[in-house]
Amino acid sequence: MKLPFISTHRLLIASLSSLAISLPAFAHKQDGHGIHHTEMADHEEIGEALAHNAPAEFANPPHFIFKSHNQKFVIGLGGFLKATASFDFGSPTDNPTDFLVSDIPVGQAKGNGAKMQFSAQSSALFANAIFNPGKNQVGAFIGFDFRGGNYVPVLQYGFVKYRGFQSGYDITLFADDAVAPPSIDAQGPNSYLGITTPGVRFTTSFGKQKQWSAGVGLEMPQAAYPADDAVAVVNQRIPDIPAFIRYSWNESSSWLRLAAILRNMTYRDLVKETNRTSTGWGLALSGNVGIISDKLSFIFQGAYGHGISSYFQDLNGAVEEDLFASTDHPGKMKAAPAWGGFAGFQYNFSSKCYASASYSHLRIYDNKTMAAADDYRYGQYILANFFYDINSYLTWGVEYIYGRKMNMNGANAHDNRLQTMLQFSF
């Protein structure tokens, strides 16, 4: 019998509580960057194993870590409660957690030029489990936030790892998930490639100090394009193929990463009554470069390709611009050229407070295609913020965002957002 929604969540909480009681806890006190050195060495190794198993945004070991009696099964439970308040002026968007440039309304009705919003939807919970910590460890990670309608939990991550292989739901391998600038905005720069998708991948490290890493994967195909009298949307059947190579230095705190992706997008030619495939591709260069040790760092990402608009998080699920109908051949579609990039700086005033600023630009081209007049042409995103760690559990932040959207016909609009945050991590 299918359990009701509330009962299912009570069952989940009860299960986690039972697990926490049944597994003996070991020292869990930590600072903002990891487990204290006063703890046992094997605990530090377990913290590193958990960090290796987690996405970049949850790389710090959780505050609550439990292990089995034989010390071969370890689970970390954690998350954060993030309460935000924001004030938009210009052409306000209706999303209090994600500042989407593509959602900025063009032609806003008079009288709606400002909006106040409160939210705790970007709060998150996660469980990070590993068996047999070390070289042959098996890992599993699952994480949720509450950005669904009416605070419905939404799967953020869910994958299994073993010896470089990974299967499940994660940020695309095309993206460098470690270069996203810190922000109260749950999305971040409009040109960031940080979409989540199901897939399988293999990654490995090599070199004398493991300074090189590389990977390749197969990911769920997704193609967004408009249907008309000459073209119909059909099911996708060929996986996207991302790959990367990365070089790091300065104890992996600085790196450069080159990524590529190959896509084959299927559509129906109604003129010839046949299915056709349009090939898309993309390249991305990203990195984090320390300028002043422990003080100032520079982050960046630049991407260009044909038919890759779905991989830019501002456009994913919001626009249909991977392919445009050809003006030369009715019934055929062309992969739309697109590029996007951002660059920013982070300055650490101390171990407790830091500030960052970044600029992002994203553009789609309609060369010899039948793009609609109100299709997205380009967007700009400016971010500046300041964060202060009140203690190892509580963080306060303040942020300003500017966004500008331009359509193919020249119509445009902009939005400004001032927001603040109080986040309790556990």
* pLDDT tens-digit map of 139-162: 999 999 999 988 999 999 999 999
254-296: per-residue pLDDT in tens?
999 999 999 999 999 999 999 999 999 999 999 999 999 889 9
Longest Cα separation, the chain: 72
9-52: per-residue pLDDT in tens?
444 444 444 444 344 433 333 333 332 333 334 667 788 888 88
Banded pLDDT at 399 (limits 50, 70, 90) = very high
Contact 130/49 with Cβ under 8 angstroms? yes
- Determine the 3-state secondary structure of 36 from DSSP: coil
Q: What is the pLDDT of residue 46?
A: 82
Give me the mean pLDDT over the 369-397 stretch.
91
316-365: per-residue pLDDT in tens?
887 888 998 888 889 999 999 999 999 999 999 999 999 999 999 999 98
Residues linked to residue 406 through DSSP beta bridges, in sequence order = 378, 412
83-136: per-residue pLDDT in tens?
999 999 999 999 999 999 999 999 888 889 999 999 999 999 999 999 988 778
Rounded-to-integer distance, Cα 35 and Cα 316, Å = 37
Q: What is the pLDDT of residue 258?
A: 98
What are the CA-CA distances from residue 207 to residues 214, 249, 250 (Å)? 11, 12, 14
Tell which wins on pLDDT, 381 or 320: 381
Rounded-to-integer distance, Cα 418 and Cα 400, Å = 5
208-239: per-residue pLDDT in tens?
999 999 999 999 998 999 888 899 999 999 99
Q: What is the pLDDT of residue 49?
A: 85
Residues linked to residue 67 through DSSP beta bridges, in sequence order = 74
